[in-house]
Amino acid sequence: MARSRSSHRWLKEHFDDPYVKRAQSEGMRSRAAYKLEELIERDRLLRPGMVVVDLGAAPGGWSQVVRRALGDRGRVLALDILDMPPIAGVEFIHGDFREDGPLSELERLLDGCPVDLVLSDMAPNMSGVDAVDQARAMYLAELARDFADRHLRDGGNFLIKLFQGEGFDAYVKDLRERYGKVAIRKPAASRRRSNEVYALATGKRRGQGK
């Protein structure tokens, strides 16, 4: 079946993308790695020995960045509904975060260990219907926030991809009640036409979610 004009346009944009080319040349699994690199450098999110959870990890670009930054110290635990080829030093769970089984396995691996940083680059499969896609995206964002409530240490940080639209403002307001500071970031590697942004919530308030 012939590709549509929009498909041809997307493919051309993708393969002309400097971040795609850079990821290929540097052995990174996705262009999304450079979004996280920018945020890590700007906000000093990582230090040796941290415990980091990466939600929506596949194909593994963010986990690669975190593992490299931590060196041989700390832990990286990753989860995704899609399978992900192994990354040395990353503990991966293949499963749907919306289901109890994979979440229980993640909690088993943590074994009560408090988390320093929760990352969520999760996004739903897009239907093309804005109202449906936004609702699905906000549901995933709520699940990630609830996980951070339960497992982040006091003072810990939470970085999450959000899509601007219905529910966005209320979600950010809610984060501000849970964390000492919330900033909205748009990394250079995010495509300008995309309505995605990243909410960085730092300094989880004492006792929040307990």
Report the binding-site residues for S-adenosyl-L-methionine.
60, 62, 80, 96, 121
Known binding residues: 60, 62, 80, 96, 121
CA 164 from centroid of its chain's CA atoms: 16
CA separation for the pair 188, 119 (Å, rounded): 18
177's tokens: 């009640």
What is the rounded CA–CA span in Å between residue 206 and residue 210?
Answer: 9
Catalytic (active site) residue 161: yes
β-bridge partners, 136: none
Residue in 12, 21, 35, 161 annotated catalytic: 161
Residues 127 and 131: their CA atoms lie apart, in Å, by 10
Residues catalogued as catalytic: 161
